[in-house]
Amino acid sequence: MSRPMPRLFLIRHGETEWSLNGRHATRGEEQIKSKADSLPIDPKNLAVAIVSPRKRAHRTFHLLFDHIPTVPKHEISEDVREWDYGDYEGLLTHEIKEKHPGWEIWRDGCPGGESVEEMCSRVDAVIAKVRNHHKEYTEGVINTRDVLIVAHGHFSRVLIARWIEFELALGTHFNVEPGGVTLLSYNHNSLDEPALNAMNLYADLK
């Protein structure tokens, strides 16, 4: 009997003051402890969890799992940090456009931070790492099928676009809610057919 297909769970940290008012920032802390028991993630099935080192993402991971006897294997990695906003850190979109009319992060990146090309390269490297875990699982090298990433809004939107093998800019069309779970896997039991299975599971949709 073939194994069930491996999955990638992608969680955006929950709502913070900064995500509520639209600032481009890398601060904040999530409070999703009430959702911990209802999320569709079995820690025993996790090959690894990759967590952004930013406080709100790190805190989210621990709110999800610190109540269970064994916290899943996890690593704190700059690879899944938020897009580096550089000179635009902490600014609202309209404030940025006053300085740079017509600016779009999906096309222009961030001066003093990450370009579109740099962001794409970083996310692609993360995806390659996840797919290596999935390949090892399907080949029977490891017995844990899933990977979890706890990260941020723009990072998540870029990852979804690149997972399904579209250009990074497609991410502008994905609405990734704070605290929501995205499920990525594959079609037709083939690692050559990456797919988006679900978005914004368990998010507090307004």
Candidates 13, 74, 133, 134; catalytic one: 13
Beta carbons of 27 and 56 less than 8 angstroms apart = yes
What is the CB neighbour count within 10 angstroms for residue 1?
Answer: 3
Beta carbons of 191 and 26 less than 8 angstroms apart = no
> Residue 179's closest CA among 26, 48, 64?
64
Helix runs in 16-91, H state only: 17-21, 55-65
Q: Is residue 3 left, alpha or beta, with left meaning phi > 0 and alpha meaning psi from -120 to 50?
A: beta
62 catalytic per annotation = no
Read off the tokens for 45. Answer: 């099935």
Candidates 15, 30, 82, 114; catalytic one: 82
Strand 7-12 with 181-186, pairing = antiparallel
82 catalytic per annotation = yes
- Catalytic residue IDs: 13, 82
